[in-house]
Amino acid sequence: MTSELVPERPDTITIYERSREGRRAFVSPETDVPETPISELLPAGAIRKDPAKLPEISEPEIVRHYNNLSKKNFDLDTGFYPLGSCTMKHNPKLNERVAGLPGHSRLHPLQDPAYAQGALELMWNLQGALSEVAGLPHVSLQPSAGSHGELAGLLLTRAYHEDRGQTRTKVLTPDTAHGTNPATVVMAGYEVVKVGTDEHGGVDIDDLEAKIGDDVACLMLTNPNTLGLFDRNIERIAQIVHGAGATLYYDGANLNAVMGISRPGDMGFDIVHFNLHKSFTQPHGGGGPGGGPIAVSDRIEPYLPRPQVVRNDSSNGHGPSFDLDYDRPKSIGRLRGFQGNYGVFVRSYTYIRSVGGDGLREAAETAVLNANYLKALLAEPGIAEQLPIAFDRTCMHEFVLSGSGAKQNLGIKTLDIAKRLLDHRVHPPTVYFPLLVDEALMIEPTETETKETLDDFARIVREILEEAAQDPEIARNAPYSTPVRRLDEAGAARNPVVRQPL
């Protein structure tokens, strides 16, 4: 595919391979105190003998190295990224600007609260907004990611039951759940019990009723679920779970579909986690950082992590003041250091204030509109035979297709379609999840994409399928235009090389 006029791209080299003895980027501040020998300041056994083999390199070379590396990444600011379950919506640029203000970015986490009133007020306001989105009265911003919020939720569940003198041993998770759910259950000391999916793609109520009991601590649920479907039986599910004395946990991965439209608290959930990097525009950063605040009902509140932001309304005419409350005797304790990912809070709060309550609702509406529109485009003849929809209902913010047709009719797998999409400069959907759909493609277009982008994506998918009907080898060997082609992942796993020998 490469034109013969284009010289071959050189193999990549690492920052360590760019190192040349004697080069440097760092110039130390002057030593303005006595130059006491190090041997007088540290015991001999504590002093490093061989310096860490960090690179020796000048600033221009560092900048070039990382700028060149950056160009080997596909990113959301450059193209369509319909990665299901990840909510790749636009990351507003204002967020970065305000997060970089020294008053936010250079504030020490242990600054006396009296001198961090702006930060604490921001956190208080963000808590209020998240509480309103969740329909639950209390929020802790502390968890660092969705998985961290899940663990918080199950430790809260444990504390709640134990406080009532109950020992419960099981947590229910649907077979469509994200892998984090069962992994979290085990870390929280519970046994995983799977609940099946019914023919409509929702929780199998009969199976739930068979598995619920007074040994069940919690049901973890994503709604809309990972098939992109809203569980119509949610009220019945809540009734069954609460009837057994268990808590109902809301995995907020798919919250983007229902902001301002339906609230987990109103559905009967006790604990909700938010993914600030999904619904609330924190950039994903190539895999972190994120934020995973939780909202809870009154009965869970006493156990929330320490510290909590509190507001004191003064009577002397000054405005309210804010503080950190550590005196929470029933708290599960800390989940991490300090107060959480404040830099993420600044960005998400900025987003919320930019669009407002109505804007959040509009985001959800448009996300659902875009998903259903794209679903309709991909249900047209020529595509639908190869990529049938897994559950044919009105979807929410995402939907799941099965590559079973393409595999059978064209001899190409979902993976091949994904790889061929790369040549079209589109990020592929999430593939091979959820597990119960054969050759799954999970597509989430988000609200920030235009109709033209969705039309274009459908056209590309059609082209790939038509091309495969002519010659499946093209997709099987794709991609061709990327910085590297298919990589030997088996070799990497058999003989892991996880650092550079120096």
Q: Which of residues 255-314 bind other proteins (CB under 8 A)?
A: 258, 260-263, 266-267, 283-291, 305-306
Burial of 114 (0-12, 13-18, 19+ CB in 10 A): exposed
Measured from the CB atom, the residue of 366 and 409 that comes closer to other proteins is 366
Burial of 135 (0-12, 13-18, 19+ CB in 10 A): middle
For residue 234, state whether it binds other proteins (rule: CB under 8 A).
yes
Measured from the CB atom, the residue of 24 and 299 that comes closer to other proteins is 24
Which residue in the set 205, 310, 384, 422 belongs to the binding site for other proteins (CB under 8 A)? Answer: 422
User: In angstroms, rounded to a whole number, what is the distance separating the alpha carbons of residues 475 and 423?
Assistant: 10
Per CB under 8 A, which of residues 455..494 are in contact with other proteins? 477, 479, 482-494
For residue 76, state whether it binds other proteins (rule: CB under 8 A).
yes
- Please state the closest distance from residue 163 (CB atom) to other proteins, in A: 12
Site string for other proteins, 196-225 (x = CB under 8 A): ------------------------------
Measured from the CB atom, the residue of 6 and 497 that comes closer to other proteins is 497
For residue 318, state whether it binds other proteins (rule: CB under 8 A).
no
Give the Cβ contact number of residue 98 at 10 Å. Answer: 16
Which residue in the set 103, 243, 320, 382 belongs to the binding site for other proteins (CB under 8 A)? Answer: 103
- Please state the closest distance from residue 317 (CB atom) to other proteins, in A: 18
Cα–Cα nearest to 2, from 483, 487, 488, 428: 483
**Interacting span for other proteins (CB under 8 A) from 79-87, 207-215, 309-317, 381-389:** 79-87
SS3 (DSSP) at 437: coil
Task: Number of residues interacting with other proteins: please give it, by CB under 8 A.
Answer: 209
**Interacting span for other proteins (CB under 8 A) from 46-54, 209-217, 239-247, 400-408:** 46-54
- Please state the closest distance from residue 119 (CB atom) to other proteins, in A: 5
**Interacting span for other proteins (CB under 8 A) from 207-215, 243-251, 360-368, 436-444:** 360-368
**Interacting span for other proteins (CB under 8 A) from 182-190, 205-213, 242-250, 308-316:** 182-190
Which residue in the set 1, 5, 6, 497 belongs to the binding site for other proteins (CB under 8 A)? Answer: 497
Residue 180 tokens read as 């984090």
Which residue in the set 82, 139, 140, 148 belongs to the binding site for other proteins (CB under 8 A)? Answer: 148
What is the chain's length? 502
Q: How far is CA 168 from the centre of its chain?
A: 29
- Within 13 Å of residue 381, how many CA atoms lie on the same side as its CB? 0
**Interacting span for other proteins (CB under 8 A) from 7-15, 206-214, 244-252, 460-468:** 7-15
User: E-assigned strands of 354-454?
Assistant: 399-402, 430-431, 440-443
Q: How far is CA 183 from the centre of its chain?
A: 16
Per CB under 8 A, which of residues 108..147 are in contact with other proteins? 108-111, 115-119, 121-122, 128-129, 132-133, 135, 144-147
Which residue reads 């609702």 in tokens?
A: 361
For residue 382, state whether it binds other proteins (rule: CB under 8 A).
no
Measured from the CB atom, the residue of 130 and 465 that comes closer to other proteins is 130
Which residue in the set 433, 439, 461, 464 belongs to the binding site for other proteins (CB under 8 A)? Answer: 433
Q: Determine how β-strand 308-312 pairs with β-strand 247-250.
A: unpaired
Measured from the CB atom, the residue of 210 and 502 that comes closer to other proteins is 502
For residue 43, state whether it binds other proteins (rule: CB under 8 A).
yes
Burial of 450 (0-12, 13-18, 19+ CB in 10 A): exposed
Sign of CA dihedral 200, 205, 207, 208: positive
User: In angstroms, rounded to a whole number, what is the distance separating the alpha carbons of residues 25 and 16?
Assistant: 14
User: In angstroms, rounded to a whole number, what is the distance separating the alpha carbons of residues 367 and 18?
Assistant: 45
Strand partners, 170: 191, 216
* Sequence-separated (6 or more) residues with CB below 8 Å from residue 343: 99, 104, 105, 289
Residue type, 145: A
Cα–Cα nearest to 85, from 403, 451, 439, 397: 397
**Interacting span for other proteins (CB under 8 A) from 309-317, 330-338, 381-389, 468-476:** 330-338
**Interacting span for other proteins (CB under 8 A) from 204-212, 293-301, 423-431, 465-473:** 423-431
